[in-house]
Structure 1
Amino acid sequence: MALTLAVLGGLCSLQALALLRAPAAWLPSSITVQLRAGDSITLGQRELAAPQTDRNHLSLRRDANGSWLVRNLSTARQVVLMRDGSEQRLGSATLQGMERFQIDGAVFEVRSANDGSITFARDGHEWRYDGAVLYRDGRPQANCPDARLAGKALSLWNRIMPVTVARPLTFGGNLYCDNRLGLAQVTPGAAQIAQVNGRLQLSAGNPDGDRAGVLAGAMDLRKQEASLDGVNAIMVGHTRLQIAASGDQLTLHPSRHVKLYSEPELRLPEQVSWQWQQRALWSSGPANAIYIALALCAAGMIAGATARRKTPAPAAQSAAMPVRGGGSQLVAQAGKLIAAMGMLAAGLIALVAQRTGFAPAAACSLLLGASALLLWLALPGRLTLATAAGVVLLAFGLLAQLELGLGAPESSWLRYYQKSAAMLAIGAGLGGLLQLWARYHSARGAHLQQRTIEWMLALFAAIALAALAAQVLWGDETGVFDLQPVELAKLALTALTAHGLALRFHWHSGPQRLADRGARWLQLIAPALLFLALLGLALVQVDDFSPLILLLVWSTGMGLAYAIAARNRWLSAILIGGALLAISAIVYLRLNGTDDLIRWGFYADRFLVWLNPAEHPHTGQQLLLGARAIGDGGWFGADHGLGLRALGQSAGSVVQIPAVQDDFAASFFLNRHGLLSGLLLWAVQAAFLIGIVLTALHAYRNGAGARNFRHAWLGRFRYFMLCGGGAFVLGHFLLSWGTNLAIFPIMGQPMSFLSAGGSHLLFFLCPLLTFSAISSEGV
């Protein structure tokens, strides 16, 4: 405990030092544009302080009546107008009520159109599109020659199922297939029709170069102007600007992805003026509400610790008797309960505030994260190696995310740190409540019935499947509703499999006939197999093979856990041999890469970039930039002081690495703190995995020595659950380090504890830490 507290205190002190050393940064609080009637102005990256926009992105104009009009000048990025919850994308038009539209020289006559479908004709063919499938003369088109298995399966689903997955209709190219409508001498994707806000809209696509000429009626979508009357906000690139018009002045208030400046000075056009504000690191947002919740949490922890010292020694009473342990026990448990509830409330307040655009200051997030880590250590039960290493890894991750947020040249990068702190507080609060609930029921001798546990597992699986279905229907490979359902699915998959394997070891008390045993085995393992199949189907839709590799590592880990528990040496040898064979294949490919891989299609590109990134400078940008960042860091960091000299300072060119806050977080850490710090991080990660294995073996020994079914099942369930969770974490470590160090081809998986991943932290890591803590107590 003393060592863990010392390391945790040091890492939190480094966060505070980074905040203290962070230089002043300035950004515009408001941008005022002044135009007379009939005048116009071009605005872009410099005038709007919007780093992810073009130099000349939009045109503002006032007509003779004094109305403000806006037009998108960018060929690659959208401009979105927001009016009372509805969105209008410039360069698009609703098809309902339209008689014809034209794409370059091709004219289409609209026969019928509503919010969900459109029927149009050209060259004697009738086309119908329902938001998911394109029909030519009443028949769906064949799959494209380059369609992958996932695309073919999705196309088949849309044709036969009543609930479909929205897919856009694209124009251009020479192929008539799937949802492509070929047009000679028109760039593929030059225009498209898709569902936007519940309505079908025609929009000009974004091919390389100029957009195609798309006419909606008589209006050229490339030159579409829209009035700002009734517009509340405008999205330019990724920057959101609130709008307020008054006479000849238009005031814009930027709020997301705003460029930071070292000094409040900038030469601007005479029609544009800025009001400057300094970046707030110490006070902003609903800090008072968070501080009150944290004070309640601190009071609960202090009361619980004080009462715990007055509790009689364990020899005089049970180790977990919150009901019969006297007044001191009651006060201690009440204090822990108040602390967990206060932490949960603080995390929810911080998360809601960030989602509504009023994120707490970085200093408030620092206090929130540090308090959550202390709560993990203050909860009842002995401190295990897994919990201690997990808390230290979380502190490492918060430090790296804070440094990245302070060192990036725009305001939005701190949101990763703020979100991680809020998610950690929510996870710590929920985990604390679950631990207290488990101890309370264990002390009373009350246990859940086996049938109740199975219904709970089935409900958990149903929720995870519904979340995956929501991602397929309404989300994309990045998730749905800002969440990643796959993290919850991994936890549910592990729980179902652990339950089936735990029951498998109680085989002798079941049916004796072989046929009955086979039926029982299918009954126990079928839910896990079904869930694994559905999870694999959902993950194959992502243009990445890392989820499949992650499942392979998990399957190997679960197989080894079963072989060890069953003392099956042949199975252990087969699995270890398979792992060694996979390592040999990686080494062979690394040393003897071949261009024969190119015939494998999409996935081969990842291998070719990995084998020789210099020949693929565009697609290999992540790998090249990551390798350069690690090389610049050397053994002692880019500042030659293990990152201590650069605390709070600029991150330099490292922020240009795509997904540096997520998949390539390790590259930033090694660049900032050096390989020596990386070795320390590896040691702590190894300690966490060893701690998980030790806790799992302890649970298995308890189950093997139990004299009744419930205790035996519970010990084995905990054993397999911890092994499965540890295997997933090991897979994340292997994939992330392998990607950053070019050991494996680029595969998009966050590094557990280090990367900024709210869903991975809340839905997987925090439950795993909680389950490990409960299992170590044996309650």
Structure 2
Amino acid sequence: MVLSCDDTDSCSIHWKDTGEQSFGISRYSYQFCHAYFEYPDVSFFKGNEQGLGVFQPSELAKFLLIIVGALTGMHLSEIRIYDAEHLYKNPVKMIWPFVYTFIFVTSLAFFVFLSVRDMSPIIISCIFLTCCIWKIVPNPDQTKSRLFEWICRGGISVFCMIAMAFIIYIYNVPESLPPIIPQKDRILVWTNPALYPHSGEQVIKSMTIAGLGGWFGATGSWFGNNHAAMTVPMIQNDFVGAFIIYRWGGLLATLLLVIQICYMTAFFKTAQQIDSEECYGGFDRRRMKFVFCMMIYGFAWMTGIQWLISWSNVLGLFPVMGQPMTWISQANSHLIFFALPSLAFVMIARQGGMGVRL
């Protein structure tokens, strides 16, 4: 593939049957995967939900999945804008080199998620990928046909409705799940914790502690003891929400939830302004703008899902998933490999790194 641009920022794509594109993408895939996935493979045999030693490889895998998703979206968008005619004549040939790379990297990321024996990163990533596809599929203004967009968004809508119906069915008939389902006991506990006092000890204690907190906290003082709260396993990580409610009450927990919503809103607003801003400086800058926009959208989606799971751990809204609450939990890998880099990207954009004027 050869991309040529003139002084007016008008670009066109020319295809050559030299295998150059496939080789370049394959080489990128190999270097990307070799740099990271060589180490986490060991955790498939020795890892658990806490990761491999003090390192949680799934956090870095989530971050890299966002990057690869943004880059793939950028390439697909370029093809639809600058070479729509060839795309509709031979869509498989045009998009396959990018799509197979994305599928390959996503499969390896899912392998890392399975290596730590926790299904929650896979669920988070599937929701993220659904949101990512929803954002990428709209056709550019230069394209007359909207058939592809309608098919993709219609398919996503049908898929979401089927998934919701399946979740409702499983909640009402949990015994219908086959024994091979990973972490089936957590789904059974979710449907009725009282029937599984041993497996559901963590959930029962968490909800009990949260109930004791009430609206104003159970200690009578912000500096009282935490003995009851500390009986909940993993209280400092996955169930830190129960500690907050017990210690400071539901009012402060509600305030924290409002702050988290504002945090996510700032991410979405930044991405939206990057997407809508006029971009000057040539083709490369437009590409960077698209990647930044998609990455910040991805960080917002991932962070929102992360917080939803963290609160659901405490309140029993979903089956227990080993996911920390960003910025609150004691989760070093999550902070280093996901939370801090995502905040850094947004701060760069808001300071004018992408021409965003706020």
Q: Distance in 2 between matches of 1:558 and 1:503?
A: 14
Contact 1:557–1:723 (CA<8 Å) still a contact in 2?
Answer: no
**Is the counterpart of residue 502 in structure 1 residue 78 in structure 2?**
no
- Aligned pairs for 1:198-237 within 5 A: none
Contact 2:189–2:195 (CA<8 Å) still a contact in 1?
Answer: yes
Deviations 1:36-78 (A, max 9, x none): xxxxxxxxxxxxxxxxxxxxxxxxxxxxxxxxxxxxxxxxxxx
Task: Pick the structure with more helix per residue.
Answer: 2
**Quick one: which amino acid aligns to residue 104 of structure 2?**
L
Contact 2:59–2:334 (CA<8 Å) still a contact in 1?
Answer: yes
Correspondence for 1:389: none
Of 592, 595, 612, the match for 2:192:
612
**Is the counterpart of residue 638 in structure 1 residue 218 in structure 2?**
yes
Count of matched residue pairs: 321
Contact 2:215–2:251 (CA<8 Å) still a contact in 1?
Answer: yes
Shift of 1:580: 4.8
Shift of 1:652: 1.4
Query: For residues 685 and 609 of structure 1, do their structure 2 counterparts lie closer, same or farther at Cα, with a shift above 3 Å needed?
Result: same
Of 734, 747, 754, the match for 2:308:
734
Q: Distance in 2 between matches of 1:545 and 1:474?
A: 16
Shift of 1:632: 0.2
Of 311, 325, 342, the match for 1:751:
325
Query: For residues 476 and 629 of structure 1, do their structure 2 counterparts lie closer, same or farther at Cα, with a shift above 3 Å needed?
Result: closer
Shift of 1:683: 1.0
Correspondence for 1:571: 152
Correspondence for 2:338: 764
- C-alpha RMSD of matched pairs (Å): 2.9
Of 519, 533, 556, the match for 2:130:
556
Correspondence for 2:3: none
Contact 2:43–2:115 (CA<8 Å) still a contact in 1?
Answer: no
Task: Pick the structure with more strand per residue.
Answer: 1
Q: Distance in 2 between matches of 1:565 and 1:754?
A: 39
Correspondence for 1:692: 267
Shift of 1:492: 1.2
Shift of 1:464: 2.5
Correspondence for 1:661: 236
**Is the counterpart of residue 543 in structure 1 residue 123 in structure 2?**
no
**Quick one: which amino acid aligns to residue 465 of structure 1?**
F
Correspondence for 1:483: 55
Q: Distance in 1 between matches of 2:152 and 2:178?
A: 35
Correspondence for 1:214: none
**Is the counterpart of residue 621 in structure 1 residue 201 in structure 2?**
yes
Shift of 1:598: 6.1
Of 227, 230, 237, the match for 1:652:
227
Q: Distance in 1 between matches of 2:240 and 2:277?
A: 39
Query: For residues 457 and 527 of structure 1, do their structure 2 counterparts lie closer, same or farther at Cα, with a shift above 3 Å needed?
Result: closer
Gaps of 5+ in 1: 1-450
**Is the counterpart of residue 463 in structure 1 residue 17 in structure 2?**
no
SS of 1:652 mapped into structure 2: coil
Gaps of 5+ in 2: 1-20, 141-145
**Quick one: which amino acid aligns to residue 489 of structure 1?**
A
Query: For residues 633 and 587 of structure 1, do their structure 2 counterparts lie closer, same or farther at Cα, with a shift above 3 Å needed?
Result: farther
Correspondence for 1:193: none
Shift of 1:754: 1.6
Shift of 1:639: 3.0
Contact 1:633–1:672 (CA<8 Å) still a contact in 2?
Answer: yes
TM-score after normalising by structure 1 = 0.38
Q: Distance in 1 between matches of 2:280 and 2:157?
A: 30
Shift of 1:768: 0.4
Deviations 1:395-419 (A, max 9, x none): xxxxxxxxxxxxxxxxxxxxxxxxx
Q: Distance in 1 between matches of 2:138 and 2:269?
A: 14
Name the larger-Rg structure.
1
Contact 1:511–1:517 (CA<8 Å) still a contact in 2?
Answer: no
Contact 2:222–2:248 (CA<8 Å) still a contact in 1?
Answer: no
Q: Distance in 2 between matches of 1:668 and 1:769?
A: 25
Query: For residues 572 and 683 of structure 1, do their structure 2 counterparts lie closer, same or farther at Cα, with a shift above 3 Å needed?
Result: farther
- Aligned pairs for 1:444-455 within 5 A: none
Q: Distance in 2 between matches of 1:482 and 1:604?
A: 27
Deviations 1:692-726 (A, max 9, x none): 111111111236x5573212211111111111122
**Quick one: which amino acid aligns to residue 250 of structure 2?**
L
**Is the counterpart of residue 521 in structure 1 residue 84 in structure 2?**
no
Q: Distance in 1 between matches of 2:229 and 2:183?
A: 27
Query: For residues 606 and 579 of structure 1, do their structure 2 counterparts lie closer, same or farther at Cα, with a shift above 3 Å needed?
Result: same
**Quick one: which amino acid aligns to residue 283 of structure 2?**
F
Shift of 1:741: 0.8
Shift of 1:579: 3.6
Q: Distance in 1 between matches of 2:248 and 2:165?
A: 31
TM-score after normalising by structure 2 = 0.79
Q: Distance in 2 between matches of 1:680 and 1:546?
A: 26
Deviations 1:524-546 (A, max 9, x none): 23332111101112322443321
Contact 1:461–1:492 (CA<8 Å) still a contact in 2?
Answer: no
